[in-house]
Structures are given as structure tokens and as C-alpha cells.
Amino acid sequence: MGAAPGKRIAWPRTLAAKRQDALRTEHLRFMREAPRGGVLHCFVLDCSGSMLAGQRLALAKGLLIALFDHASAARAEAALVCFGGAGADVRFGPAVPRWWNERWLSPVGGGGGTPLTAGVRQAGQLLERSARSKPAQQRWLWILTDGRTRDMPARPLDADEVVVVDFEREAIRLGRCELLADAWGARRFTPEELMS
């Protein structure tokens, strides 16, 4: 049960996967090596009216603070695109976050429609510029939304990895975050899964 040459076992994650079972190969988790060109995390935040229900936008902001802190600790660049109402705009970056807290994020408000396509277009342009200026950089795209939209934009070409964070909480689910993740070959998580 040896690790792959040059890879180190991440013991906390391995032991969490093992739980009470005897250690088996499928429990092994390995340290991720940082790409030589660095990493850019582009977060696309849904600020539409539906995200105000059930404090979803507040939860998304709290999660963003944790994700930005993680990016800062890893010396990764981050960017934030907010979409809601009639459009989308870049609110931060791309840059290595030097300080990031509730005071900076609290002015981000919500309301109006869910122009997911506009948000993804802004993020795609940002990722494209990054790919031209730093071709060796790994680019992650994070979509934080409840999926209450009929938009089904194309996956940006310059996103190496995509994560859809699913904030849908309705009793009757539309499942659009899952559809988007499947269409884009993305990973899908709930905020609770990311915070645990």
C-alpha cells in the first residue's frame, strides 16, 4: 500500500476518509502539489433576489471569506465577479488577497434577476486575460448560485477546473446547479460540504 513516487500522504484527510474501518488503498488522500505557474481562483457570486431568501447570500459571503483566506494562505490569486439584477461586474482582482474581511464584502447587496450568462461572460473574459498573461497558471472557476435561472451559458474555455456551489434550498428543487455541473464536467458541492 505505498504512495505513488514523489507523492506525500495527507494524513488528516486519509484518516477522515478511513473513519473506523481498517486502512485501505481507497482511503488514501495525497497532498496536492501547487502548479508551478500559480493558481487563480475566480469566484462568481449570484447576488440575485432569490439569494436573499433564507440568508443564502449571507451564507455565500461567509463562505467567500473562508475561500479568500484559504487563497491568501496559499499565495494564490483570487477574483470576484458579482452578478444580479441586469448585469455583472468584477469586484476584486485578480490579485493575491492581502486582507479580506466582512467590512469589504458587506456592501455587496442582492436583488433583481439572475443574469448567470452575464456573470459567466465576465469571468470568462477575466480568465482569458489571465491565460494570455500567465499561461502556466492554473485557473479555477467557482460558481456560487442557487440556480434559479433559465440561463445555461457555455463553460469558459480558459477554466481548468470548475466548482459549482449549490445554494438551492427549496422543497421542490429545480436542480439547475446539478445540470450546469454535469454539462460543464464540474464538481458540485453544497456550502455545508465545503465548510465541513
70 shares its domain with 104: yes
Per-residue pLDDT reduced to its tens digit, 121-145: 999 999 999 999 999 999 999 999 9
Cα angle for residues 5, 33, 119 (degrees, 5° grid): 145
Other residues' Cβ atoms within 10 Å of the Cβ of residue 114: 24
59 shares its domain with 137: yes
Per-residue pLDDT reduced to its tens digit, 10-67: 676 677 777 778 888 887 776 655 556 799 999 999 999 999 988 999 999 989 988 9
16 shares its domain with 51: no
Residue 188 within a domain: yes
CATH number at 185 reads 3.40.50.410
Res 103: pLDDT? 64
187 shares its domain with 90: yes
Residue 138 within a domain: yes
95 shares its domain with 17: no
Domain total for the chain?
2
- 82 against 8, higher pLDDT: 82
Residue 1 within a domain: no
Per-residue pLDDT reduced to its tens digit, 70-119: 888 888 999 999 999 888 999 888 888 776 556 667 777 788 888 999 99
Res 77: pLDDT? 93
Residue span of the structural domain in which 98 resides: 36-195
